Structure 1
Amino acid sequence: MDDSKLKLGNSLVAATRLLRCIERRFDSDNDFKQRYISFMREYQELGHMMIIPPAEIDVDWSKSYYLPHHGVIKEDSTTTKLRVVYDGSSATTTGASLNDILLDTPNINADLFEILLRFRTYPIVFIADIEKMYRQVLVHHDDTDYMRIVWRDSPDKPIQHFRLLTVTYGLKNSGFLAMAALHKARSRNIPKQ
């Protein structure tokens, strides 16, 4: 996309439209509804998102972005059967999306071949999974207006506006941010020999 067109426009309309589509699905799939509500409730209880005060809702469209969201079900998952995914590629009224204006980031994941070689180096190998890895990394407050969502757990209630406070799925730099935070944390905890 031409750099002169990389200006965010209104993203609230698309985010609200998708929320209403999700609510229609809730009417026909109670299990999906309960899982989705539970996921979003946990998101808020863990402090991974916060309600935007009414006085802060109206800002210049170029200085905020509403992420449409939808649920992805993975029945074979041992932890979370439903994950809410945010769409940073949803176009605003200018045609640009948040992913369009985010910088491209390098892949800093370890090379698979290098990882396999490490298995041959030591007699015992430990592996681990970081629970909610992306959500362990806080986003600077100045950037959270670009990670807004609309949500309500019932169509009978008014739509609420939230800011996501942690790295989230759906943004093109999320993997880089999570891995960079892990590298930084690991480098601080390595004892000097």
Structure 2
Amino acid sequence: MDKPPQCSGSVQFNLKIGCRKHKVVAIVNPNVGKNIRMPGYIHADRTLEASGLRLADRQPGDNATGIEIILGADYLPRLLKRTRNIKSVNLFSTPGGYVVWGGLPYWSREGTEPPEVESLSLTLNRISVTDPVGLEALVENLWKLDAVGISNEPFSHLEAQAVDLFKCTTRYTNRRYTVQLPFKSNSRPEINFGRAFAQLMPLKKYKDPQLFIKYQAILDEYIKEGFIKPVELEPHNDGQMHYLPHHPVLKSSTSTPMRIVFNASPKSGPNSRSLNESFYTGPNLASKIQSIILQFREKPFGLTADISKALLRIEITQKHRDYCQFLFFKDSSMTEVVAYCFKVVLFGATSSPYLLNQTIQHHLDAQTSSLASQLKTSFYVDNFQRCYNLPTDILSESQSIEKIMLEANMPLAKWTTNAPISGDFTKMGPQDYLGLD
């Protein structure tokens, strides 16, 4: 090697292999590959030499001094001539002689047991070295995987707009939050009464004779809880209005034999936009999963819970409820149609998980306790998870956590822990906060 470089960075130099020189562009780092152990190398070298084959590198021993050069896939094909296997030792033939590749056979490790095998995950990435750049910056690029939470990427322009809109328009009154739908612009989806009406008609053809009764029971419960309300049917309204298609999902469960699925993705025409396409979806929430999972490797005891009917506990401002209407039949004859509108954030909208997450973060930011600040990393959509060192910590914090969330009308349910705690370790708060105006 002519004038080996002494500092980190991108350099160009001549590498002599055998009788030939090769011009190489390399990334130099003095801290790669120190004290690499190669058990059995000396014995394998002597055995091969006794067979008339000398290795190109005679310096390494069982305790090698380190790696001198790592060849990338762009240079490796230039140097490899052929491969051989002699006495179970895999060899590459290069212009400078034979080099060992892969593991050494067990016979080379006299008096030693087979080594322990560890699992290694390897990530490959193409790195450009056209411009001189420090190795640290190149390695950092390998880990810029914001989708799994390895690094925190800044918000995009649209994500920042969504967050700003939420902060400017959200209101808190009587333990409930009211939000606006996060429209991207002043343009709105076209009225789609005809298409929504046509998509309602297939319900008449369901084989279940009790379909209307099951449907109506769910809608009556929604009305009782304050999630929806009947509205005047306006099929020829020229203003801003949108109807959500819906369909039933039948299940074998005795407690919930059916649920209603609302769809915000259909378009009213080939050149129109759907309701979902009109919304900001906010920052990618998947980046939170990695940090939440890692919490369970830090402490022995976990505590999990769900926010009961989380999306339905956030109200939609009055002026945006017309975009969350849907049609259904007036009675079991299924001949006359009536309309309802959602008063709360609905399932089926791409923006709903973002609105829920942002509401929780907004609520925790407004609290003064240090515990509320710590809880900001404990929620993923409607799921709560937190880890502890001692079971007594769970007992002391669980009621405080529930109290904080009840201030946002978001009671936690389905508490679960692996800690040795017997009985009901939470005193559930009032469950009658669902009543909405």
Partner of 1:184: 362
Distance in 1 between residues matched to 2:297 and 2:345, nearest whole Å:
34
Answer yes or no: is the 8 Å Cα contact 1:57–1:161 preserved in 2: no
Structure number with higher relative contact order (C-alpha < 8 Å, ≥ 6 residues apart): 1
1:17 to 187, 198, 221: 198
Residue 128 of structure 1 aligns to a residue in which SS?
strand
1:30 to 198, 209, 212: 209
Amino acid of the structure 2 residue aligned with 1:14:
R
| C-alpha distance after superposition, 1:25-64 (max 9, x if no partner) | 1xx213544332222221122111111146x775325x11
Structure 2's unaligned 5+ residue stretches are 1-183, 372-437
Greater C-alpha Rg: 2
Quote the offset at 1:161 in angstroms.
1.4
Quote the offset at 1:162 in angstroms.
1.4
2:328 to 136, 151, 157: 151
Partner of 1:174: 352
TM-score (norm 2): 0.38
Residue 45 of structure 1 aligns to a residue in which SS?
helix
Q: Could you say which structure has the higher helix fraction?
A: 1
Q: Structure 1 residue 39 and structure 2 residue 218: aligned?
A: yes
Quote the offset at 1:7 in angstroms.
5.4
Q: Could you say which structure has the higher strand fraction?
A: 2
Q: Structure 1 residue 60 and structure 2 residue 243: aligned?
A: no
Partner of 2:304: 127
Amino acid of the structure 2 residue aligned with 1:22:
L
Distance in 1 between residues matched to 2:266 and 2:236, nearest whole Å:
20
Quote the offset at 1:187 in angstroms.
3.2
Distance in 1 between residues matched to 2:188 and 2:196, nearest whole Å:
18
Residue 116 of structure 1 aligns to a residue in which SS?
helix
Instruction: Tell me how large the CA RMSD over aligned residues is.
Output: 2.8
Count, aligned residues: 184
Residues 107-122 of structure 1: pairs in structure 2 closer than 5 A: 107-108=284-285, 111-122=288-299
Quote the offset at 1:179 in angstroms.
1.6
Q: Structure 1 residue 86 and structure 2 residue 262: aligned?
A: yes
Partner of 2:115: none
Distance in 2 between residues matched to 1:178 and 1:139, nearest whole Å:
12
Quote the offset at 1:164 in angstroms.
0.8
Structure 1's unaligned 5+ residue stretches are none
Identity, % of aligned pairs? 23
Amino acid of the structure 2 residue aligned with 1:88:
A
TM-score (norm 1): 0.80
Answer yes or no: is the 8 Å Cα contact 1:72–1:83 preserved in 2: yes
